[in-house]
């Protein structure tokens, strides 16, 4: 049901809350760094690895020009789809509200909408990142990491890191564990021994993302803790982790730039709607509507910068 021009406005305080608010357990934007773009659809450059690492003659003779580098550049495309959700507040609730309640109520609606929008983004990114067809290489564990004695998660991860570095000349700076995999990895005998030495007791030996960074010389260790409800509407919730039974080793810059390689990028078109909160008055429905949305496309931009370790808790 539509609203008249007088019945809709952009609420800046709510927009600021939406932009500042970060839902818990969401990590998609650290795998898929968000870069702002000026057009809803456009090309992006793909730089060739061969050109980046070729030794070239840079010696210049007196009174001559410097040698010109030739680079082979291809391109990919993105299209930023619009993702948006809205929620309604009945006029009855508005009229019965105590002083100050309405801003709190609108704030909670905005946070709820962003939670759902970010969960959907997490789902889209996870679906791409947990497919072997979207990474440079992948390999299943020889033994499940649930076997704390016979499996070798450290070797599995070191092999993945070396694979990406040797294939691209770029060392991965990030690793992503699914929540269930992380639970087993941090209790593994080899991991505890490598980090803390061969002690006879576990007292005080707690594996954290920080000491795993140091162990593998990484900048970023992520634990994917987001869940989705796979049950239908009206049925009892059935929760499933989005990040499956795999570990992703990858490179993504800590500060995203369109001219810097990354395993994945999110192209955010921010000219129309960029987590801005719109308030609509719907007198025919006797309600106020709060809407939140954004335009974005998540793209695997350099698959060779990712390695997927498969079936970490289910290999036999």
Confidence of residue 221 (pLDDT cuts 50, 70, 90): very high
Confidence of residue 260 (pLDDT cuts 50, 70, 90): confident
| Structural domain of 33 | 5-48+73-310
Please state, in angstroms and rounded to a whole number, the distance separating the CA atoms of residues 37 and 266: 10
Q: What pLDDT score was predicted for residue 6?
A: 47
CB neighbourhood size of 128 (10 A): 18
For residues 3-10, give the mean pLDDT.
58
The structural domain count of the chain equals 1
Decide if 66 is inside a domain. Answer: no
CATH number at residue 258: 3.90.1690.10
Please state, in angstroms and rounded to a whole number, the distance separating the CA atoms of residues 149 and 185: 12
What is the percent of the chain with per-residue pLDDT over 70, rounded to a whole number?
94
**pLDDT (tens digit per residue) in 55-78:** 778 888 888 888 887 777 778 899
Q: What is the pTM of this model?
A: 0.87
Decide if 68 is inside a domain. Answer: no
Decide if 57 is inside a domain. Answer: no
Is a pLDDT exceeding 90 seen at residue 53? no
Decide if 63 is inside a domain. Answer: no
Q: What pLDDT score was predicted for residue 5?
A: 43
Decide if 56 is inside a domain. Answer: no
Is a pLDDT exceeding 80 seen at residue 47? no
Is a pLDDT exceeding 80 seen at residue 136? yes
**pLDDT (tens digit per residue) in 86-95:** 999 888 888 8
Q: Which residue has the higher pLDDT, 6 or 184?
A: 184
Q: What pLDDT score was predicted for residue 169?
A: 92
Q: Which two tokens stand for residue 223?
A: 């634990």
Residue 35 CA neighbour count, 13 Å, CB half: 23
Decide if 122 is inside a domain. Answer: yes
Decide if 166 is inside a domain. Answer: yes
**pLDDT (tens digit per residue) in 152-175:** 999 999 999 999 999 999 999 999
Q: What pLDDT score was predicted for residue 1?
A: 45
Q: What pLDDT score was predicted for residue 104?
A: 79
Q: What pLDDT score was predicted for residue 117?
A: 96
When the pLDDT of each residue in the chain is averaged and rounded to a whole number, the result is: 88
Q: What pLDDT score was predicted for residue 264?
A: 96
Q: Which long-range contacts (CB under 8 A, 24 or more apart) does 6-9 make?
A: 6/281, 7/280, 7/281, 7/282, 7/283, 8/278, 8/279, 8/280, 8/281, 9/278, 9/279
Please state, in angstroms and rounded to a whole number, the distance separating the CA atoms of residues 107 and 20: 12
Please state, in angstroms and rounded to a whole number, the distance separating the CA atoms of residues 22 and 30: 13
Most confidently modeled range among 54-58, 251-255, 269-273: 251-255
For residues 204-233, give the mean pLDDT.
93
């Amino acid at each position: 049901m539509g609203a008249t021009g007088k019945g809709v406005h952009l609420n800046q305080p709510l927009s600021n809350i939406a932009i500042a608010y970060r839902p818990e357990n969401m990590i998609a934007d650290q795998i898929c760094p968000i870069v702002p773009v000026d057009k809803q659809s456009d090309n992006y450059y793909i730089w060739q690895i061969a050109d980046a690492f070729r030794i070239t003659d840079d010696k210049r003779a007196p009174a001559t020009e410097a040698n010109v580098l030739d680079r082979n550049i291809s391109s990919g495309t993105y299209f930023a789809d619009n993702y948006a959700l809205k929620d309604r507040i009945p006029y009855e609730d508005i009229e019965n509200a105590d002083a100050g309640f309405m801003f709190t109520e609108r704030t909670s609606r905005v946070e709820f909408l962003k939670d759902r929008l970010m969960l959907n983004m997490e789902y889209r990114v996870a679906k791409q990142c947990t497919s072997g067809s979207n990474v440079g290489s992948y390999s299943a564990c020889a033994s499940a990491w649930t076997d704390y004695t016979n499996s070798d998660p450290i070797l599995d991860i070191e092999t993945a890191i070396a694979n990406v570095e040797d294939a691209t000349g770029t060392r991965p700076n990030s690793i992503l564990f699914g929540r269930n995999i992380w639970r087993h990895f941090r209790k593994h005998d080899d991991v505890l021994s490598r980090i803390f030495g061969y002690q006879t007791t576990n007292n005080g030996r707690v594996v954290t993302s920080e000491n795993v960074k140091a162990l593998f010389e990484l900048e970023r260790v992520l634990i994917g803790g987001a869940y989705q409800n796979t049950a239908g509407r009206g049925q009892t919730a059935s929760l499933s982790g989005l990040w499956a039974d795999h570990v992703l080793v990858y490179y993504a810059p800590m500060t995203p730039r369109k001219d810097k390689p990354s395993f994945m990028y999110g192209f955010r078109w921010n000219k129309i709607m960029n987590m801005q909160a719109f308030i609509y008055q719907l007198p025919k429905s006797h309600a106020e509507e709060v809407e939140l949305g954004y335009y974005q496309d998540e793209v695997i931009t350099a698959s060779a910068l990712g390695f997927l370790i498969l079936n970490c808790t289910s290999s036999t």
